[in-house]
């Protein structure tokens, strides 16, 4: 396991911050912060609000390794901060629409497994 990067009065935390502004696009920052730094301080340090001003206008949702956290959460070494954008479509609705497009004969459990068998068996 790698040790944190040294600073003048101790060690620094190595933090990764990621944000996906659109599907299939990911922006990543690597930061070295003082121990005791919060998510809010990491956001200010990387300059994400200058690059994506729309984030400053909305209520920001963030997480560390997939677990939602508040912006005053204290960071640990090797944390990966993720900024979440709001869903445009409810996943259940999207799944239902995809099923309607594919039809019952070609979707998951409902495919016909052997000649003459009922769909779903």
Domain boundaries for CATH 3.10.20.90 within the chain: 5-84
For the domain made up of 5-84, the CATH class stated in words is alpha beta
User: Which among 116, 96, 91, 92 is positioned nearest to 107, based on CA atoms?
Assistant: 96
Joined together, the tokens standing for residue 27 give 């922006």
User: Which among 86, 68, 65 is positioned nearest to 15, based on CA atoms?
Assistant: 65
pTM over 0.85: no
pLDDT digits (tens, 9 = 90+) for 66-111: 999 999 999 999 999 999 988 788 889 988 888 888 766 665 655 5
User: Which among 54, 50, 51, 45 is positioned nearest to 14, based on CA atoms?
Assistant: 45
Please compute, for residue 89, the number of CA atoms within 13 A of its CA located in the half-sphere on the CB side.
Answer: 8
CA distance 53 to 39: 17
């Amino acid at each position: 396991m790698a040790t944190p990067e040294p600073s003048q009065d101790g060690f620094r935390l190595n933090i990764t911050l990621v944000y996906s502004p659109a599907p299939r696009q990911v922006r990543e920052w690597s930061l070295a912060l003082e121990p005791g730094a919060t998510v809010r301080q990491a956001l200010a340090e990387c300059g994400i609000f200058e690059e994506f001003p729309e984030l400053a206008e909305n209520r920001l949702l963030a997480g560390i390794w997939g677990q939602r956290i508040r912006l005053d959460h204290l960071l640990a070494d090797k944390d990966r901060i993720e900024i979440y954008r709001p869903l445009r479509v409810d996943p259940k609705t999207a799944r239902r629409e995809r099923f309607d497009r594919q039809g019952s004969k070609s979707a998951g459990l409902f495919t016909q497994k052997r000649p003459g068998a009922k769909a779903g068996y």
